[in-house]
Amino acid sequence: MEKRKLGTQGLEVSALGLGCMGLSFAYGTAVDKQHGIKIIREAYEQGINFFDTAEAYGIENEELVGEASAPFRKEVVIATKFGFKDGRAFNGQDSRPENIRAVAEESLRRLKTDVIDLFYQHRVDQNVPIEDVAGTVKDLIQEGKVKYFGLSEAGAATIRKANAVLPVSALQSEYSIWWREPELEVLPVLEELGIGFVPFSPLGRGFLTGAITESTSFEATDFRNNLPRFSEENRKANQKLVDLLSAIASQKQATPAQIALGWLLAQKPWIAPIPGTTKSNRLTENIGGASINLSAEDVKKIDDAFAQTAIQGDRYPSHIQQTTGK
């Protein structure tokens, strides 16, 4: 698989990574451990060398990534994240320097490694200056415990402030054909500063694959049950987006998911999406998206078609609305 450079500090990853969150967090029942290991190793065998996890996805998620990648640890890039109180995604932020250090030590232990390749601040903490966050990660890099610094869902001003203290190698935020907010302010800043971009949910949390319809029933513990964009009414209204993708895909002898990933890869050469999956066939399908070559004309046709389609439903419910910050 093609490699892409994230940032100017030397970080290079496969054009597609594997988002490991869904193996044990957020999308219903966690997969069996051996199955999770199988998926990660299959990804590696098919050319993926970039694996994404986080403290907030649960202890078992980092442990799973650590065990699965052990046989080829030095050949892959493992990204993990800090920044939530008690490591729980809905407890609010905690990027105090002492917490960053504590999370780093625990992540190193769970990942069974001596260095974290890419260490992201999971969400911006309004109570801790970003300069202090960057300074703490800078110390960890000097100590040899971290290689590269990343931010997640940060806005343009925060990115600039952080980068002034320590070069940011990658920003991770939601970005796909149906969530394009990063194009407004964030992508221009990343290009200006030489920072890579890692889109999460590049397939719209599964919706852009075509596998989810208005009649789909999610497990009770699947957090999509709480997302406005995934209400039955909005899924029905947004189906025309998938229909558009499907029509384009049929012309390219591809699948909707592959076109969605190809569209992202065509945006910039420093973008590396991290689709997640729990299924071997979907993994292989997604990897096929890295071989989709869309011309500027193809991208324009897709953009023009989507511009005529209003997407229904907010990204998050109002009580946990998360935007890309300042």
Three-state DSSP string of 216-240: CCCCCCEHHHHCHHHCHHHHHHHHH
> What's the pLDDT at 104?
98
In the sheet that holds 116-121, the strands lie side by side as 18-19, 50-52, 77-82, 116-121, 146-152, 168-174, 196-200
Per-residue buried b or exposed e for 20-38, using 16+ beta carbons within 10 Å of the residue's own CB: bbbbbbbbbebbeeeebbe
Please list the residues that pair with 231 across neighbouring strands. none
Among 124-133, 188-197, 314-323, the minimum mean pLDDT is found in 314-323
pLDDT above 70 (res 324): no
Alpha helices in 82-196 (DSSP H): 97-110, 130-142, 156-165, 186-193
Against a cut of 0.75, is the pTM above it? yes
Residues 3-13 have pLDDT tens digits of 999 999 999 99
Q: Number of C-alpha atoms within 13 angstroms, CB side, residue 143? A: 14
Residues 43-90 have pLDDT tens digits of 999 999 999 999 999 989 999 999 999 999 999 999 999 999 988 888
Higher pLDDT, 28 or 190: 190
Residue 320: which pLDDT band, with cuts at 50, 70 and 90?
low
Smallest CA-to-CA distance from 199 within 227, 175, 229 is with 175
pLDDT mean over 282-291 = 96
In the numeric block, which tokens belong to residue 207? 């919706």
> What's the pLDDT at 261?
97
Helix (H) or strand (E) run with residue 15 in it: none
pLDDT above 70 (res 326): no
Which residues does the annotation mark as catalytic? 57
Residue 325: which pLDDT band, with cuts at 50, 70 and 90?
low
Task: Write down the domain spans for the chain.
Answer: 3-203+266-292
Which class in CATH covers the domain with range 3-203+266-292? alpha beta
Residue 93: which pLDDT band, with cuts at 50, 70 and 90?
very high
Distance, CA of 3 to CA of 223 (rounded, Å) = 32
SS3 content of the chain, % helix, strand, coil (to 5): 50, 15, 35
Distance, CA of 182 to CA of 161 (rounded, Å) = 18
pLDDT mean over 188-201 = 97
- Cβ neighbors of 253 (< 8 A, separation 6 or more) are none
> What's the pLDDT at 323?
43
> What's the pLDDT at 241?
83
**How does the average pLDDT of the chain come out, rounded?**
92
**How many percent of the chain have pLDDT more than 70?**
96
The answer to whether the CB of 36 falls within 8 A of the CB of 24 is yes
Distance, CA of 44 to CA of 246 (rounded, Å) = 28
Task: Let me know the angle formed at the C-alpha of 320 by 319 and 325, rounded to the nearest 5 degrees.
Answer: 120
In the numeric block, which tokens belong to residue 15? 């054009």
